[in-house]
Structure 1
Amino acid sequence: LGSVGGLQFRKLLISSKIESQNGLGWKGPLKLIHGICMIVGTIIGSGIFVSPKSVLANVGAVGPCLTVWAACGVLATLGALCFAELGTMITKSGGEYPYLTEAFGPIPAFLFSWTSLLVTKPSSFAIICLSFAEYASAPFYPGCDPPQVVIKCLAAAAIVIITIVNSLSVKLGSYLQNFLTAAKMIIVTIIIVSGIVLLAQGKTENFKDSYKDSTISFGSIALAFYNGLWAYDGWNQLNYITEELRNPYRNLPLSIIIGIPLVTVCYVLINISYFTVMTSTELLQSQAVAVTFGDRVLYPASWIVPLFVAFSTIGSANGTCFTAGRLVYVAGREGHMLKLLSYISVKRLTPAPAIIFYGIIAIIYIIPGDINTLINYFSFAVWIFYGLTVLALIVMRFTRKDLNRPVKIPIIIPVVVTLVSILLVLAPIISEPELAYLYCVLFIVSGFIVYVLFVHFKFNWSQKISKPITMHLQMLLEVVPAEEITE
C-alpha cells in the first residue's frame, strides 16, 4: 500500500461527494491480481523480521514456534473470510466501522474509530519504525544490542521524515513506495531460497527433537499468537476498499483464499530458514535475527540483509502513513475529531494536519515503549474489535436476515474466530497482567466519554480552545476545508 498521489486523493474526495449526492459509489479497476498483491504487500512488512524471536521466547522450542506461525495464518484466513462476508453484505469502505454501526449502533463504531486513531494505528506506526531502527543500527553494534536511546532517536527520525514526505509530496512517497516494495520481496526471496538450499545440503540438526524443552502455557500461547498475528496484520485491508474492487463477490474471497495462505507459506519457510543456521538459544540471543542469518549465510555480502530489511520496514511505515492519515481525516470530517484534521493542503492536496497528528501520536508511543510491549498493547486492542466485528456477523445472521449475502460462510467459522478472539484478549490479562492492557482499556473508555460529550450532546469543538488553534494552524499549514477544494 503506497501513498496515494494528490490527484488521486482529490478524485477520492470528489467521488465521495458525488456518492453522497446521487447514491452512486465509484467502482475502481482493482482486479483479482491487485487484491492478492495488496494482501501480500500489506501483510509482509516488518513483522517477519521482528516477531520470530518473541514467538520462540514464548513457546521455547522450534516445533511449537513453527506451529504457531502456521496457526496464525489459519486464524488470519478464517478472520478474513468472515470479513469477506461482511464486505460483500455491507459494501461500504471503512473496514469495521460500517459493520459495527449496522450490528450494534454508533457507540461501538465510534469506539473502534477512536481506538484506531489513538491506539492501534499510531502504535503500529511506532512498532514498524522501531523495527527499522533496530535493523538500521545493528551493523554498527556487532555482537551487542544497540543502545535504546539510539533506537528510539532513529525511529523518531524515521517517523518525522515519513510524515514530512507524505505531507509535502505524496507523489514522491508513492514513487518511493514502489522501490521499497521491490526491496521487500527481494530480501524475502533471498532468505527463503537460502534456507531451501541449506536444507537440501542436510542442515537439519536444529529440527531434531523440535518439541523438546517447550514452555507452553495458556498465557504463553496467547502472547506467542500476539507476536505472530502482528506479522499477519493487514489481512483485513481489502475490506477498506470494497467499493473499489471489481466484482467483489468473486474477487474478495478469492484474494483471501490465495493471498493469506501464500503469506503463511512464506512465513513458515522464512522461520525454517532461520532455524537452519541458528539453534533456539542462538536465535533468542540474536539482536536482529535476519542480520545474524545474513552474517552466517551471505558473508561477505551480509550487509545486504540489514539494508534490505531496513528498506522493507521503512516501506511498511511509509505505506501505512497515508491510509492512517486518511482515517484521521475522515474522523475529523464526521465530527469525531477536531474539524481541523479534515482540512486539506491548498497547494499539495494532502491531508497534512491528519498526517502530522498521526506522526506526533506515534512519536509519543516510542518514548516509553519497546517493541514487545507495543505489540502486546496493539494486539490486545485490535483483537477486541476484530472479535466484536466477527460477533457482528453472527448477530446479523439473526437480526438482518433481509441483507443480501453474495458470500456466505459456514456459521462455525465466525463462532470459532469469536471464541479465539475472546481467548486472545483474556489470556494475557489472566496469566501475565501488564499495565499496557490497563492503559488500553482506559483509552477505550475515554472514547465513550468523548462520544457522549462531543457527538451525542454535540458539544461544539470550535468554541474557546479549538477556534484559535484552528485559525493559527490553518495559516501555518496553508490548509482549508475539503469542500472548498472540491467545489
Structure 2
Amino acid sequence: MVSTSSLERTPLLATNGQEVAHDIDGTHGGSALDGIAIHRGEANANGESYDNVPKGKRQLGLFSAAFLIFNRVIGTGIYATPSSILKSAGSVGVALSMWLVGALIAACGTAVYIELGTGLPRSGGEKNYLEYIYRRPKFLVTCTFTAYTLIMGTATANSVVFSEYILHSLSIEPTWFHTRLTAFSCLTFVCIVHGSLLKWGLRLQNALGMLKLVVLALISISGLLCLAGFRDVQVGDEYEKPENFNSWENLWKGSGTGANAFVSGLYNVIWSFIGYSNANYALSEVRDPVRTIRRAAPLAMFSVSAVYLFINIAYFAVVSKTDILESRRIVAALYFRNLFGPATERALSAFIALSTLGNLLAGQFSQGRVIQELGREGILPYASWFASNKPFGAPLAGLFTQYLVSCTFLFAVPPGDAYLFLISLSSYSLSLINTAVALGLILLYTRSYRIWDWNPPFHAPKIIVLLFLISNLFLVLVPFFPPILGSRTYERLPYWSHSVGGFAVSFFGLAYWYIWAIWRPKAKGYRLEREWVLQSDGVSRFAFRKVSLTAAEESAE
C-alpha cells in the first residue's frame, strides 16, 4: 500500500517564481528541490531528520563511511601511476611535489563536499547539491544529472583490471574470453552482494579496506626501512641500487620536462585522489550524518594522502629512476622484485585484484544509492521500482541498472578507441559535474543568493572552494590541448573526442526534460503535480500526477 499526503502536492513548474518550503520535521523531511537545508545551530542539526528514512536503514557509522571513501579513492592507480608521473615530472623531487599538490587539491574537494553534505545530508550527492543551487527551470538539472549518472557509474574498466590481475595471479592466460568472463563474474558478484546481502557486503567492503590499508602501510614501512639502511631490508644484489635520495642534486635531477609534460602529470595525480565525495552518495544510510561526514571524510583522505606520499617515497627508495622509466612493468612489481624477489609478483597481482574489488564494491554501493534517489525524485520511468528497497532491504533496482550498463560496455564495446572513449567520457563527465558543484557553492556566497540563507553546520573557507573550482576547470580544459609529444589518446579519434562528448551528454538530459515536463503536458493538456508517497517498504518518495488543465481550473474556482 502507498499512502499519500494531500498537503504535499505542488505544481511541477511554479508560475509565481516562489519556492515551496516544507518543515524538515514534517512528513517527508528535507528536499533540495524545495530549497530546504540544515542550518547551523538547529535542534535537528545531526541530519537524521532531513531524510525521513526508517531508522534501521542507517547502518553506516564512522568506520564504514571512512572506508567507503578510502576504498573508492585507492583502486589500482597507486601501483602503476607513479611511473607515468615520474616521466612527466622528470625528477623524483618534482614527482613528490606533484603528489603533495594533489593531496592539497583533494583536501579542498573534501572540504567542499563536507560543507554540502552537512547542509543537505541525504543520499544522492551532487544530485541534491545541483538541485538546491540551480533551481530553475525546475527539474532541468535533475534530468541532466540523470544522463550523466549512468555514464559516470560504469564499473567496466575496474572489472577488467580486476580480471587481468586475478588471472595473472592464477597463471591463467588473459585471453579476451577469460578476461571478459572473469570481469562479468566480478560485476555479478558485486551486484548480488550489495543487492541482497547488505550487511555482508559492508563487512567485505570494510575488510578489504582494512587489508588494503595494512598492506600499503607495510609496503611503506619496508621502503622506509630500506632507505634508512636496515640490513635485512635491502635491494637484491642483482638489481640496480637506487640513488634517488643520495643527494639533493639527485632528488631534483631531470627537472624541467616542459609545461605540457608537467600539466599531464599533475592531471593524472589529481585523478588519483578522486573519490572523496563517495560517502555523500549514501548519507541517508549514515548514522548522525552531519557529525559522521565531518569526521569520516578527513580521516579517509588524510589516510589516502599519507599512503600515497609514503608509498611513493618507498618506491623511489627501492627502485632506481632508470628502472622506473625504462621498464614496462608497473612500479609496484619492480618494488616487490627488488626487495622480495620475482616469486612475489603473483602475490602482488592477487593483492591488486583485491584492492580493485574493494574499489568496485565501494563505487557500486554508492552508485546504487544515487539511482535510487533519482527514483525517489519521481522523474524516472517506473520510479517506484527504482526507489524501492525490496526485496532485500537494499536498492537492488539501482544496482541492477548500473550492472546492466557495465555489462553492456564490457561485451558490446570492442577494445580500442571506442572502449577508451567511453572510459574517458566517464571521467570527464565527473569533472563537469564537480565544476558545476564548485561554481554553485561560490554562487551561494554571493549577494544574489543570500535570500536562500545557506548556513550549514560546516563552512569550507572560500579560498578552498575557489581552489577546488580552479582544479576542476583545469581537468575540464586540459583534454582540449594536444597531448605531450610521443603520447596518443586514441589511434583514430581526435584527442578531444571525449571532452566534446562530455558536453553533449547534457543534451540528452535537456531533451528528456523538455519532452517530459514541457512538450507532452502542453500537447496532452495536463500539468504535473508533485506529491509525497510512502511505500510499503518504508521508503518515502515523490510521485507525479497528471492533472488536466480543465480540472485544475475548476478546482481553483
**Which range, TM-score by smaller chain?**
0.7 to 0.9
Map of 1:361 onto structure 2: 405
Map of 1:291 onto structure 2: 333
Compared CA separation, residues 192 and 310, structure 1 to 2 (3 A) = same
Give, in angstroms, the shift of residue 108 of structure 1.
3.0
From 124, 127, 138, the counterpart of 1:97: 127
Matched residue type, 1:81: A
Residues 319, 338 of structure 2: 8 Å contact kept = no
TM, length-normalised to structure 1: 0.78
Cα distance in 2 for residues equivalent to 1:30 and 1:167: 16
Compared CA separation, residues 164 and 381, structure 1 to 2 (3 A) = same
How many aligned residue pairs are there? 445
Cα distance in 2 for residues equivalent to 1:486 and 1:90: 21
What runs of 5+ residues in structure 2 fail to find an aligned partner? 1-23, 30-48, 231-240, 484-494, 523-532, 540-557
Map of 1:112 onto structure 2: 145
TM, length-normalised to structure 2: 0.69
Give, in angstroms, the shift of residue 257 of structure 1.
4.1
Structure 1 residue matching 2:461: 3-state secondary structure: coil
Map of 2:78 onto structure 1: 48
Identity %: 25
- Counterparts of 1:140-155 in structure 2 under 5 Å? 150-155=178-183
Cα distance in 1 for residues equivalent to 2:426 and 2:466: 23
Residues 167, 355 of structure 1: 8 Å contact kept = yes
Map of 1:121 onto structure 2: 153
Cα distance in 2 for residues equivalent to 1:390 and 1:159: 32
Matched residue type, 1:383: S
From 136, 152, 165, the counterpart of 2:166: 136
Matched residue type, 2:369: R
Matched residue type, 1:234: G
1:48-101 per-position Cα deviation (integer Å, ceiling 9, x unaligned): 234334433444443332222221111010121122222333344421222212
Give, in angstroms, the shift of residue 266 of structure 1.
0.8
Note if 1:71 corresponds to 2:101. Answer: yes
Which one has the largest radius of gyration?
2
Note if 1:431 corresponds to 2:482. Answer: yes
1:434-462 per-position Cα deviation (integer Å, ceiling 9, x unaligned): 322233232232222122223444679xx
Cα distance in 2 for residues equivalent to 1:99 and 1:78: 17
What runs of 5+ residues in structure 1 fail to find an aligned partner? 1-17, 461-480
Residues 95, 240 of structure 1: 8 Å contact kept = yes
89-98 or 205-214, which moves further after superposition? 205-214
Structure 2 residue matching 1:337: 3-state secondary structure: coil
Residues 45, 184 of structure 1: 8 Å contact kept = no
From 464, 473, 498, the counterpart of 1:413: 464
Give, in angstroms, the shift of residue 396 of structure 1.
0.8
Cα distance in 2 for residues equivalent to 1:73 and 1:174: 27
Give, in angstroms, the shift of residue 313 of structure 1.
1.0
- Counterparts of 1:151-230 in structure 2 under 5 Å? 151-201=179-229, 204-207=242-245, 209-214=250-255, 216-230=257-271
392-401 or 213-222, which moves further after superposition? 213-222
Cα distance in 1 for residues equivalent to 2:312 and 2:534: 46
Richer in helix (by share): 1
Map of 1:485 onto structure 2: 537
Give, in angstroms, the shift of residue 374 of structure 1.
6.1
Map of 2:525 onto structure 1: none
- Counterparts of 1:438-457 in structure 2 under 5 Å? 438-457=500-519
Cα distance in 2 for residues equivalent to 1:350 and 1:32: 20
Residues 115, 460 of structure 2: 8 Å contact kept = yes
Give, in angstroms, the shift of residue 154 of structure 1.
3.2
1:338-386 per-position Cα deviation (integer Å, ceiling 9, x unaligned): 3165165754344333222211212333444679766643332212111
Map of 2:439 onto structure 1: 391
Give, in angstroms, the shift of residue 272 of structure 1.
2.0
- Counterparts of 1:246-261 in structure 2 under 5 Å? 252-261=293-302
